A and B are shown apart, each in its own frame.
Chain A
């Protein structure tokens, strides 16, 4: 036993040496990605490799931890691309000067202005709408609330399921409320949510809790409901596109930028261009998201069940990304778990 363990240790240190020696030399047939997005990457990436011969390696983690890693590694980093599931982390990374601006007409044409930052250092690639969902048996479509603020009203006391404060999705939604409604109003709304809601730790649990009658309404990303419907077409939760009259439904993005210290910036840019155009469907459909590129058709299941023609919040992602820490402060203030 001791011998085999020692042998393993030797192998390990040998691996360590070989893998790092491979990475140190800039190898222009490989793009390396730090990604907060984990699932469904494979298909788009392998198609890109097949088309171009450029290999892709990726390392998963949470957006924030990977950003910390990138920051600590500085110019030693191996990452060419930093990819996240949320705008706030892109905004923070841009603020800390971790990206390089790209000059790419392909990207600026493909991605509308509100889904990239002003100096074109990061680009949204897929859109996720965070909207209101309700139990279709307990409420008629007319009874279902259609505004985020309504869920803070006393009539919904004990009937709302929301996601916890650690979720970037919660943070970005509240950041957008600050931008759209002003800080004071946002505090009132979050206070009302805190009084009314059961706070759960993921969107799937919110949907299941609504389905089984623990709550009547909640707020989730649209694609989790799409996934539940895909698994069970009779799933009892329905969706409302929030704020149809006013500011529109909150849209978050999953996106990426080329790192400032990328060893392989040209290939990295090429990959982003691919993901923003021909690769869009492979990149977004598996997770039932909306393509950031408006030319690209929306995946059928989403189109059929929810439609894609709704009033979308036009707020620039960089804007609510910048308000992220303010959103956290509000949640601390009112004690939103």
Chain B
């Protein structure tokens, strides 16, 4: 649809103004919907029970705070280290398998932390085969590192979260840094220096954004962390909610989680730096990779293989082995037939949540672009709030909002929101808008604001700018957002548990149903299907990002 030519400046101003106002109102309304559940929670957190808190401060809280800091920094550092070095390796060098690895290395993103966690504990824990063999060699009391520990959970989460760093860094390297790097090299700067002085500053937004996602995922995780016997504030929230049944206290402690999240967001701003890099032209030339040979090539291939094996291939093999063992036992009630239904529910939920999140993210980022200012920036930040709180807390906030809406009686009795698939999608969107929004925003930040201004001065309205300028230039970040949100949603558990309607079970619900009763081998099948389903969009995205731009 071609934009009709604008004849007079008056018409242009009026049209621009009115469509912009509609656009802004829509953004505001969306923002309210996103923030309402969190506000509802904060309101119920207003009257603390001081006795309880004195007790918590004297007993649990110090360890929870310490655990949170330790796990966040541990996982952040590990993910940054693995993700960025692998991204550099596959972009700047050529070695056996490098093309394959350049997309395959993102696949561990499909492995939920809690699944790698329980496989790791089962295989490497005291009762697992590894330690059994160890004891048979070196005696019953032979020393073995404690797997169920802070160290253990850092390794597990680092391995499933590094792909965020890998994907975003690799995309930034490929899109932007190549030309600058080669220019620096041609001016005689040594590779390391060129990387440090030219490439690193250009990567800072990608590194900061992906590190922020890694830290948020770590901060709000409780299932994996708790399985490793580590206390964090999110585990504390869960304990207050589930063990104590004290919703108010749980909400209050979730303020501490929120404070950590604020720190992450602040740190991201700092790390991102003040620099903003506008792409000069539409296409920049990428890296020309250097060929590695001999020992170096072996080392590079070996490193990629090792990470993939530990983070993905080995746990999948273990799940397959459990599944085979399980298929030989007759349990009376076969669940297998119903897994097709659970799988399609999982996919439906993931696809819908991703769609909603991307639409909202595009809407909000474009509004922020068109009416720049501190208020618009704050609004975009505020919309990511759901990502900075544990899922079960969000679920209860959403439930409170839905029930309030239902009670107004504005909707007919037969259309209650509570317990509908729509409310479930709403809950998941509130929770996962964060990564979608951050990705699309960071993609858009690479589109020079000069382009937005030019389009505007040529009379394009908000929708046209979004559709014809911003979207085409940030296509890969939109795709990235779709994948990140849908993968997170397939793995999501607490929100699904609390908000799904009757008869709407997903794979993650069944992994949980079975593993909560310690039926781990039976949980292998749904776990495996989650991993494979989540792997598809990750591979799709990863491969697409590798292909040359046209």
Q: Interface on chain B toward A: helix, strand, loop, or mixed SS? A: helix
Beyond A23-B416, A39-B517, whether A69 also contacts B127 by CB under 8 A is no
Beyond A6-B355, A337-B229, whether A60 also contacts B513 by CB under 8 A is yes
B414 touches A25 (CB 8 A): yes
CA distance A9 to B333 in the complex (A): 33
A62 touches B497 (CB 8 A): yes
CA distance A69 to B395 in the complex (A): 9
A59 touches B502 (CB 8 A): yes
CA distance A76 to B423 in the complex (A): 15
Distance in Å from the Cβ of A54 to the closest Cβ of chain B? Answer: 15
Contacts of B517 in A (CB 8 A): 38-39
A214 touches B127 (CB 8 A): yes
A24 touches B500 (CB 8 A): no
CA distance A329 to B392 in the complex (A): 23
| Interface pick from A199-207, A244-252, A269-277, A301-309 | A199-207
Contacts of B227 in A (CB 8 A): 201
Is B400 in the interface zone, CB < 8 Å from A? yes
Cβ proximity bits A164-193 to B, threshold 8 Å, 1 near / 0 not: 111010010000000000000000000000
Is A61 in the interface zone, CB < 8 Å from B? yes
Is A58 in the interface zone, CB < 8 Å from B? yes
Distance in Å from the Cβ of B253 to the closest Cβ of chain A? Answer: 13
Is A294 in the interface zone, CB < 8 Å from B? no
CA distance A165 to B518 in the complex (A): 17
Taking CB atoms and an 8 Å cut-off, the chain A residues in 1-16 that contact chain B are 4-6, 8-9, 11-13, 15-16
| Interface pick from B1-9, B24-32, B242-250 | B242-250
A58 touches B425 (CB 8 A): no
Contact of B355 among A5, A25, A76, A92 (CB under 8 A): A5
Q: Name the residue of chain B whose CB is nearest to the CB of A64.
A: B242
B243 touches A64 (CB 8 A): yes
Beyond A9-B352, A329-B55, A333-B55, whether A43 also contacts B399 by CB under 8 A is no
Distance in Å from the Cβ of B62 to the closest Cβ of chain A? Answer: 11
Beyond A59-B500, A60-B513, A286-B332, whether A68 also contacts B415 by CB under 8 A is no
Contacts of A214 in B (CB 8 A): 126-127
| Contacts between chains A and B (CB distance < 8 A), count | 183
CA distance A58 to B519 in the complex (A): 20
B403 touches A73 (CB 8 A): yes
Beyond A19-B504, A212-B132, whether A5 also contacts B498 by CB under 8 A is no
Beyond A8-B348, A61-B497, whether A21 also contacts B518 by CB under 8 A is no
A165 touches B239 (CB 8 A): yes
Is A224 in the interface zone, CB < 8 Å from B? yes
Contacts of A23 in B (CB 8 A): 416, 419, 501-502
CA distance A39 to B332 in the complex (A): 11
Chain A interface: which size bin? 35 or more
CA distance A42 to B56 in the complex (A): 41
Contact of A39 among B59, B403, B513 (CB under 8 A): B513
Is B38 in the interface zone, CB < 8 Å from A? no
B226 touches A213 (CB 8 A): no
Q: Name the residue of chain A whose CB is nearest to the CB of B501.
A: A19
Cβ proximity bits B511-533 to A, threshold 8 Å, 1 near / 0 not: 00110111110000000000000
A74 touches B502 (CB 8 A): no
Contacts of A328 in B (CB 8 A): 243-244
Is B484 in the interface zone, CB < 8 Å from A? no
Q: Name the residue of chain A whose CB is nearest to the CB of B132.
A: A212
Is B21 in the interface zone, CB < 8 Å from A? no
Distance in Å from the Cβ of A228 to the closest Cβ of chain B? Answer: 10
CA distance A72 to B498 in the complex (A): 11
Contacts of B424 in A (CB 8 A): 16
Is B503 in the interface zone, CB < 8 Å from A? yes
A67 touches B498 (CB 8 A): no
Contact of B516 among A24, A62, A231 (CB under 8 A): A62
Is B177 in the interface zone, CB < 8 Å from A? no
Contacts of A21 in B (CB 8 A): 414-415
Q: Name the residue of chain B whose CB is nearest to the CB of A230.
A: B329
Contacts of A199 in B (CB 8 A): 229
Is A209 in the interface zone, CB < 8 Å from B? yes
CA distance A69 to B348 in the complex (A): 23
Is B413 in the interface zone, CB < 8 Å from A? yes
Taking CB atoms and an 8 Å cut-off, the chain A residues in 63-94 that contact chain B are 64-65, 67-69, 72-74, 76-78, 89, 92
CA distance A269 to B277 in the complex (A): 67
7 A-B pairs with least C-beta separation = A16-B422, A204-B518, A20-B420, A16-B421, A208-B127, A12-B352, A16-B420
Extra contacts besides A13-B352, A333-B59 (19): CB < 8 Å: A8-B352, A21-B414, A23-B416, A24-B416, A38-B513, A40-B333, A43-B332, A43-B333, A62-B497, A67-B245, A68-B247, A72-B396, A78-B418, A165-B243, A166-B239, A171-B243, A209-B126, A212-B126, A337-B229
Residues of A near any B CB (own CB < 8 A): 4-6, 8-9, 11-13, 15-17, 19-21, 23-25, 32, 38-40, 42-43, 57-62, 64-65, 67-69, 72-74, 76-78, 89, 92, 164-166, 168, 171, 199, 201-205, 208-209, 211-214, 224, 231, 286, 325, 328-329, 332-333, 335, 337
